[in-house]
């Protein structure tokens, strides 16, 4: 790509402003104005080529053969679902409900469908992401305990060590103390330890946050015992449903004794994500937690839809515009495209591809736990450690071949978590497993080659911590 300053030509431009239809406003104060604005002068075509070029320098959902990002469920979004939000592009969140009946009906129907899929009495689309949904659920649980006069005593949230980092963060943000429950050697929750903790301090526990299947890719068969045990001690159970792609139209969280759960529409329900969003969450609640759901709630009265604030026990409002509505539209379109049978097939195929990929990778890298997995699995970087290489070096080699990187160092520091999803073809999985095997073989002969990868990307290795702490967002033309 030629740098912009070389493309710049005096007088080139790509826009023409319409004639003013309102009185001109006074200029900004002189102190805000720069004497010289050194912007490149480019035609519209130059600018488009610049941004297209940059987009191709990145991996993308349409350009990468596989998106094996474990726990994140990177489903291919059909074009029809991507186009659906355009139908609603003219809506404004503050326009009167009687002029937005179609949008409200869509939200109402989507909440009903998602409640049905998860086994909830009702739910809310207000949270903007998974973590935001967890926080919503924690607030709801706190309000529930308060309604029973137990909020002062129940100050602890128990979380398995396999949980996503957002779980403890959400509990802490809601003001709870977090206590970790370990997993056993098979990757299941250490049930005996949970019993022990509850015997010791059951009456101080507000909630248990479980992920089913867990981010180890394992379905905990003891789930009904776990939820019953917590209920005996007066605690509530939240289920992190980010891994629901493994269960659609097969398992309902409500049937497992879960009190409140979330779905990530940008994972299980086809809304594209990556690069930070926009996401969309859904919180589903059992009957006794419904009064605490966020307001406004979309309600149907005499065939008309309205936004109701008439819920005195509600935790209040969490999003300024009822959530990421256009993402909800995409999820709705995706649900209509798949249909009920499609979701059953999707979870079946997700588990099949998950196991197939896990088995293929296990030929080269040892699996973290024995046996079958659900939709995702973890393999360890043990053979690379012997060469003084780490899991991070391996993924740099994977990125070098045009793949989106799988999840590394979570939930196990020396592990790679891969999730092919139901949209991966067998050919893509075979190709990926072969490529990983070849990278490992090449590294055994030449460890420095892998340590220096990626070799083919426009940028090499970043100082990730520094990029996080001191991000530079301003582009300057020198």
* Residues binding ligand PLP (CB under 6 A): 71-72, 129-131, 164, 166, 211, 215, 240, 242-243, 264, 279
Minimum CB distance to ligand PLP smaller for 110 or for 389 = 110
Q: How far is the CB of 341 from ligand PLP (least distance, A)?
A: 26
CB atoms within 10 A of CB 314: 21
CA distance 302 to 240: 35
Buried b (16+ CB within 10 A) or exposed e, 346-377: bbebbbebbbbbbebbbebbebbbeeebbbbb
CA distance 241 to 283: 10
Query: Tokens 């330890």 map to which residue?
Result: 193
Minimum CB distance to ligand PLP smaller for 264 or for 421 = 264
DSSP helix, strand, coil percent of the chain (3-state; round to 5): 40, 10, 45
- Bridge partners (DSSP) of residue 160 are 181
Q: How far is the CB of 163 from ligand PLP (least distance, A)?
A: 7
Q: How far is the CB of 143 from ligand PLP (least distance, A)?
A: 22
Q: Is the dihedral of CA 225, 226, 231, 237 positive or negative?
A: negative
Closest of 138, 177, 216 to residue 372, by C-alpha: 216
Q: How far is the CB of 394 from ligand PLP (least distance, A)?
A: 21
Minimum CB distance to ligand PLP smaller for 164 or for 188 = 164
Minimum CB distance to ligand PLP smaller for 104 or for 171 = 171
Asked whether the beta carbons of 156 and 204 are under 8 A apart, the reply is yes
Q: How far is the CB of 419 from ligand PLP (least distance, A)?
A: 9
Backbone angles phi, psi at 42, to 5 degrees: -135, 155
Q: How far is the CB of 170 from ligand PLP (least distance, A)?
A: 9
Closest of 311, 264, 267, 313 to residue 284, by C-alpha: 264
- Bridge partners (DSSP) of residue 264 are 281
Q: How far is the CB of 130 from ligand PLP (least distance, A)?
A: 2
Minimum CB distance to ligand PLP smaller for 72 or for 450 = 72
Minimum CB distance to ligand PLP smaller for 137 or for 333 = 137
Minimum CB distance to ligand PLP smaller for 64 or for 268 = 268
CA distance 281 to 318: 12
Half-sphere exposure of residue 89, counting CA atoms within 13 Å on the CB side? 6
Half-sphere exposure of residue 342, counting CA atoms within 13 Å on the CB side? 10
Give me 96's structure tokens: 């009167």
CA distance 42 to 35: 21
CA distance 273 to 82: 12
Q: How far is the CB of 242 from ligand PLP (least distance, A)?
A: 3
Minimum CB distance to ligand PLP smaller for 368 or for 389 = 368
Give me 351's structure tokens: 């588990």
CA distance 322 to 282: 11
Nearest residue relative to ligand PLP (C-beta): 130
Q: How far is the CB of 248 from ligand PLP (least distance, A)?
A: 15
Minimum CB distance to ligand PLP smaller for 412 or for 439 = 412
Helix (H) or strand (E) run with residue 398 in it: helix 391-400
Name the 3-class secondary structure at 181: strand
Asked whether the beta carbons of 239 and 253 are under 8 A apart, the reply is yes
Spell out the residues 6+ positions from residue 321 whose beta carbon is closer than 8 angstroms to its own: 93
- Bridge partners (DSSP) of residue 433 are none
Q: How far is the CB of 278 from ligand PLP (least distance, A)?
A: 10
Minimum CB distance to ligand PLP smaller for 127 or for 397 = 127
Q: How far is the CB of 417 from ligand PLP (least distance, A)?
A: 10
Minimum CB distance to ligand PLP smaller for 246 or for 439 = 246
């Amino acid at each position: 790509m030629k740098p912009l300053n070389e493309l710049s030509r005096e007088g080139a431009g790509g826009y023409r402003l319409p004639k003013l239809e309102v009185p001109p406003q006074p200029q900004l104060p002189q102190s805000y104005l720069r004497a010289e604005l050194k912007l490149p002068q480019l035609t519209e075509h130059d600018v488009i080529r610049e941004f297209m070029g940059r987009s191709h320098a990145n991996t993308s959902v349409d350009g990468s053969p596989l998106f094996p990002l474990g726990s994140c469920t990177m489903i291919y979004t059909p074009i029809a679902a991507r186009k659906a939000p355009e139908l609603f592009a003219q809506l404004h969140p503050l326009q009167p409900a009687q002029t937005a009946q179609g949008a409200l009906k869509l939200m109402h129907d989507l909440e009903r469908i998602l409640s049905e899929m998860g086994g909830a009495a009702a739910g809310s689309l207000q949270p903007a992401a998974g973590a935001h949904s967890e926080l919503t659920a924690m607030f709801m649980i706190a309000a529930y305990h308060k309604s029973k006069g137990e909020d002062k005593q129940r100050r602890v949230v128990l979380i398995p060590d396999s949980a996503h980092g957002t779980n403890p963060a959400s509990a802490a943000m809601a003001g709870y103390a977090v206590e970790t429950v370990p997993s056993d050697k098979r990757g299941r929750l250490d049930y005996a330890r949970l019993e022990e903790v509850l015997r010791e301090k059951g009456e101080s526990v507000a909630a248990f946050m479980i992920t089913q299947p867990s981010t180890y890719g394992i379905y905990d068969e003891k789930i009904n015992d776990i939820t019953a045990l917590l209920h005996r001690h007066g605690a509530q159970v939240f289920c992190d449903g980010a891994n629901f792609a493994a269960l659609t139209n097969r398992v309902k969280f409500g049937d497992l004794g879960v009190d409140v759960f979330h779905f990530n529409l940008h994972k299980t329900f086809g809304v594209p994500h990556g690069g930070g969003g926009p996401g969309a969450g859904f919180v589903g609640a059992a009957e006794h937690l419904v009064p605490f759901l966020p307001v406004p709630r979309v309600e149907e009265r005499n065939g008309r839809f309205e936004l109701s604030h008439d819920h005195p026990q509600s935790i209040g409002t969490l999003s300024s515009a009822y959530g990421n509505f256009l993402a909800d539209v995409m999820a709705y379109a995706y649900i209509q495209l798949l249909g009920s049978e499609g979701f059953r097939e999707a979870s079946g195929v997700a588990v099949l591809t998950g196991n197939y990929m896990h088995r293929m990778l296990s030929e080269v890298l040892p699996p973290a736990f024995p046996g079958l997995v659900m939709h995702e699995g973890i393999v360890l970087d043990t053979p690379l450690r012997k060469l003084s290489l780490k899991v991070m070096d391996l993924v740099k080699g994977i990125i070098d071949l045009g793949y989106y990187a799988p999840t590394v160092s979570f939930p196990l520091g020396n592990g790679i978590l891969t999730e092919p999803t139901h949209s991966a073809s067998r050919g893509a999985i075979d190709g990926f497993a072969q490529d990983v095997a070849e990278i490992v073989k090449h590294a055994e002969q030449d460890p420095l080659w892998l340590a220096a990868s990626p070799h083919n990307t426009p940028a090499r290795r970043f100082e990730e911590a520094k990029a996080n702490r001191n991000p530079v967002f301003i582009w300057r033309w020198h």
